[in-house]
Amino acid sequence: MNRALATNETPAIPASRYAAISPEPNILTDIYRDEINLSVWQCTLTQALNSEVADLLSSASELQLSIAVTPEHTKDELRAASTLLADKPALIEHLAMLVDMFCTLFELKRAGLRLTILNKAMCPKFHVDHIPCRLVSTLGGIASQWLPHDKVDRSKLGVGSKGKKDHESGIYSGRSDIQQLNTGDVALLKGSGWLGNEDGALVHRSPAPAAGEARLLLTLDFID
């Protein structure tokens, strides 16, 4: 049974949540463990892929791609969706691989794919996602930041911050509490919509790129 989508069981809620991080891709399956709210595959991008991403970020000022993709036809769907990807075979191959992994892991027929060039922080404040799970991977530029479960004051999330910036709200105690993914990392972020994880969703945010720099961000979501 797909635990992320199940509605007829109530697993015991662990006292805490942890991150599972490894250079091996099978670490992503650890997201099914109740005590895990972040699984990270430390993926090393190929030289060809890095070159294509760098070219895309330097030549395109804007990319806001949002499409539904199927594992069997991801490559064709990406080529049809954006001419910017027409000469990016390594990037298309990598995206297709991640779609296949994501859909296989969660038994999905389709996934919602977003590929975006960002010149500013998309979600600048620490927050949680009210969904079962999301795949996040920064393919170029600065990667996402997150807080360990035991370092978060969840009462300061959302309106609890009283409009204050993260470093003023008290959501974390010090800068050393903030953890950061690396470019190329493939991360599964468990949200509050995952059964039994209502109070354990990963707290994360998008960092602001430095002046003159940009990020290429991939996200995959459940749509079926």
Q: Is residue 82 part of a domain?
A: yes
Q: Is residue 97 part of a domain?
A: yes
Cβ-contact 170, 132 below 8 angstroms: no
**Residue 90: domain span:** 18-222
φ, ψ (nearest 5 deg) of residue 19:
-100, 140
**3 state SS for 134-168:** EEEEEEECCCCEEECHHHCCHHHCHHHHCCCCHHH
Residue with tokens 């795949």: 135
Q: Is residue 147 part of a domain?
A: yes
Reported as a single tens digit per residue, the pLDDT across 47-85 is 999 999 999 999 887 899 999 999 999 999 999 999 999
Longest dimension (CA), the chain: 50
**pLDDT of 13:** 47
Query: Taking 90 as the threshold, does the pLDDT of residue 129 lie above it?
Result: yes
CA distance 186 to 43: 6
Q: Is residue 4 part of a domain?
A: no
Average pLDDT on 106-129 reads 89
Give bridge partners of residue 76 from the DSSP assignment. none
Q: Is residue 7 part of a domain?
A: no
**pLDDT of 163:** 83
Reported as a single tens digit per residue, the pLDDT across 168-195 is 888 988 899 999 999 999 999 999 999 9
Q: Is residue 198 part of a domain?
A: yes
**pLDDT of 94:** 98
Pairing verdict, β 215-222 and 179-180:
unpaired
- 90-99's contacts with Cβ under 8 Å and 24+ in sequence apart are 90/46, 90/48, 90/49, 90/51, 90/52, 91/49, 91/52, 91/53, 91/56, 91/139, 94/45, 94/49, 94/139, 95/218, 96/71, 98/135, 98/137, 98/186, 98/218, 98/220, 99/69, 99/71, 99/74, 99/220
Q: Is residue 55 part of a domain?
A: yes
Position 201 confidence tier, pLDDT thresholds 50, 70, 90:
very high
Determine how many CB atoms are found less than 10 A away from the CB of residue 105. 18
Q: Is residue 60 part of a domain?
A: yes
Query: What CATH number is attached to the domain comprising 23?
Result: 2.60.120.10
Query: Taking 80 as the threshold, does the pLDDT of residue 124 lie above it?
Result: no
Question: Does the predicted model carry a pTM greater than 0.85?
Answer: yes
Query: Taking 60 as the threshold, does the pLDDT of residue 2 lie above it?
Result: no
Average pLDDT on 150-159 reads 87
- The number of folded domains in the chain is 1
Query: Taking 60 as the threshold, does the pLDDT of residue 142 lie above it?
Result: yes
